[in-house]
Amino acid sequence: MTAESITLLLFAILIFVGGAAFVILSLIEKEKRAAGRGALITFSFLAVYLLAFLLPDNVQLVIILISFGFLALTGILFFVPTKVQQAEFNQPKDQVDEREIIFARARLEPGTSLYESYYKHHPQQKTQDDISREQSGLLSSDARFMDPLHRASAIGSFSLTEALRDAVDGPISTERIQSSGEDFTRTVKKLAKYYGALDCGITDLKPAHIYSHIGRGTGNYGDKVTLDHQFAIAFTVEMDFEMTSYGPYAPVVMESARQYVESARVSIQLAAAIRDLGYPARAHIDGNYRVIAPLVARDAGLGEIGRMGLLMTPLQGPRVRVGVVTTDMPLLTDTYHGEPSIIDFCRICIKCAHNCPSQSIPHGEREISNGVMRWQINPESCYHYWTIIGTDCGRCLVVCPYSHPDNLLHNMVRWGIKRSGTFRRAALYLDDFFYGKKPPSRGKTFLP
């Protein structure tokens, strides 16, 4: 065999191995479109290289040079960094009143004094909120995408989270253990991961992290929030990729509810362990927060706030639930450096906005809101859609290119996205090609 033929054979082997690996991985992930297109491209290129064996040496040389040029271009996309949009995210100027968030307003019962008092001072919100109350409602078996079996599973999880709300705080041991900040920090992070956290970070607790008034959970509705802890420990738990891929149908709320349980369990265990060491600590769980969890997690270095208004982590994207523990235990904080590549990718991607059934996610650029540059979603229209379908939708979670499973292939793409603006655009095109601009849902049912 000539040198040209040997080189072509090596390219053919490389294409076959790489293509087969992509197809197999796609089948494992149950991504039929990606597997089909991957197989088509693999066999097409393989056929070109095999047919090239029949061509004259000079033509083979041209094909080889083109192939090396393609590899060089790919290397440039991967390894040459380009300037990206700055991920500036200052602290909000004003604290958020929890009574004003949609989940607190949804709990107000018409005819009660709290209902009358709130809408007397916020009449602009009453009409839309009342329209949402007239729908079937979140987790209603009469809702468009809900059924009794999936509802029972979600209710089972949310019931446990509800039962845990009084366990967020407790007595502190009178025997205080003394140790260095380094040792306490290492212990806290290791414990969080031992309990089940995916990732963990620590930040100084800032006024903007804390709700100004109680809107849900333990304590008296409308009371000022008193939380004078010095530090906040933030962690993530992973939502299963396959289960979120069922969104907006019922299985997605099963997984959402299950991971709220997991984040509550981890945070309550961690807070109790810290109190046993002699330091005050409070867990912040679904329905009983005193802090804005995504903002705390962002400042603890776990990710960025993306276009959909959720925490975007480097390896799971928005496919996480966030838990927080606040404490006075002396800890070392993680330095937030920002991840401008995530902000830049969100800026050019817009996939979550295109796929949002309620069109609650903005398509344009970030704007100043409460003193910070961010994308501002419409929580009212988002929640209203939930009350119609009976689930928490989750379409934005699964269509996000960052949400692909944490494995070697997808992490190589994430690595390129982090380094190069040109690669970000190429990755977005490839994601649309293999998975679709509007990826289909896995289906309506997970249970028999």
Domain C-terminal end among 363, 382, 398: 398
Is residue 108 a part of any domain in this protein?
no
Q: What value does the mean pLDDT take over residues 198-220? A: 96
The pLDDT of 8-19, averaged and rounded, is: 89
352: phi then psi, degrees, rounded to nearest 5: -65, -40
Considering 50, 79, 108, which residue would you say is the last residue of a domain? Answer: 79
Average pLDDT over residues 182-209: 97
21 and 138 co-located in one domain? no
Asked whether residue 224 is assigned to any structural domain, the reply reads yes
> For the residues 243-260, what does the mean pLDDT come to?
96
Number of H helices, E strands in the chain: 17, 8
User: What's the confidence (pLDDT) of residue 59?
Assistant: 82
* Confidence label for 175 from pLDDT (cuts 50, 70 and 90): very high
Per-residue model confidence as pLDDT tens digits over 315-353: 999 999 999 999 999 999 998 877 889 999 999 999 999
State which H helix or E strand residue 176 sits in: none
Within-domain flag for 334: yes
Q: What is the pLDDT of residues 378-388, one digit of tens each?
A: 999 999 999 99
The residue-averaged pLDDT of 148-174 equals 96
* CA-based nearest residue to 234, from 299, 172, 162: 299
Is the CB of residue 271 less than 8 Å from the CB of residue 281? yes
Q: How far are the Cα atoms of 7, 296, 423 from residue 66, in angstroms, in the given order?
A: 12, 49, 20
More confident residue, 62 or 252: 252
- Per the structure, the count of domains in the chain is 2
Q: Residues 56, 152: one domain? A: no
The closest alpha carbon to 222, from 103, 126, 370, 100, belongs to: 100
Q: Are residues 25 and 169 in the same domain?
A: no
Tell me the per-residue pLDDT of 220-237, one tens digit each, with 9 for 90 and over: 999 999 999 999 999 999
pLDDT at 82 exceeding the cut of 70: no
220 and 297 co-located in one domain: yes
Distances from the Cα of 313 to the Cα of 34, 380, 401, 403, 434, angstroms: 23, 25, 12, 9, 22
Q: pLDDT digit string (tens) for 394-431?
A: 999 999 999 999 999 999 999 989 888 888 999 999 99
**Residue 30 and residue 168 share a domain:** no
Residue 50, pLDDT > 90, answer no
pLDDT above 60 for 88: yes
| Omega of the bond leading into 357 within 30 degrees of 0 (cis) | no
Range scoring the smallest mean pLDDT among 33-37, 86-90, 101-105, 146-150: 86-90
Residue 424 lies in a domain: no
Is 425 a domain residue? no
* 280 in the same domain as 154: yes
Would you state the pLDDT for residue 289?
A: 97
User: Is the same domain home to 229 and 356?
Assistant: yes
Residue 313 lies in a domain: yes
Q: How confident is the model at residue 79 (pLDDT cuts 50, 70, 90)?
A: low
Q: Does residue 70 sit in the same domain as residue 148? A: no
Instruction: For strands 304-305 and 311-312, give the pairing.
Output: antiparallel
61, 79, 97 - which closes a domain = 79
Q: What's the CA gap between 139 and 373, in Å, rounded?
A: 34
Average of per-residue pLDDT values in the chain: 93
Give the separation between CA 409 and CA 429, rounded to whole angstroms.
16
Do 25 and 139 share a structural domain?
no
Torsion over CA of 316, 318, 319 and 325, rounded to 10 degrees? 100
Q: Is there a single domain that holds both residue 39 and residue 138?
A: no
Residue numbers of the domain that contains 69: 3-79
Q: What integer is the mean pLDDT of 200-217?
A: 97
- Look at residue 100 and tell me if it is in a domain: no
Determine the average pLDDT of the residues in 422-445: 93
**Residue 177 binned pLDDT confidence (cut-offs 50, 70, 90):** very high
- pLDDT over threshold 70, residue 121: yes
Q: Do residues 383 and 302 both lie within one domain?
A: yes
pLDDT at 277: 98
Residue 264 lies in a domain: yes
Q: Is the pLDDT of residue 167 over 90?
A: yes
Q: Report the percentage of the chain scoring pLDDT > 70.
A: 97
Residue 99 pLDDT > 60: yes
Do 52 and 143 share a structural domain? no
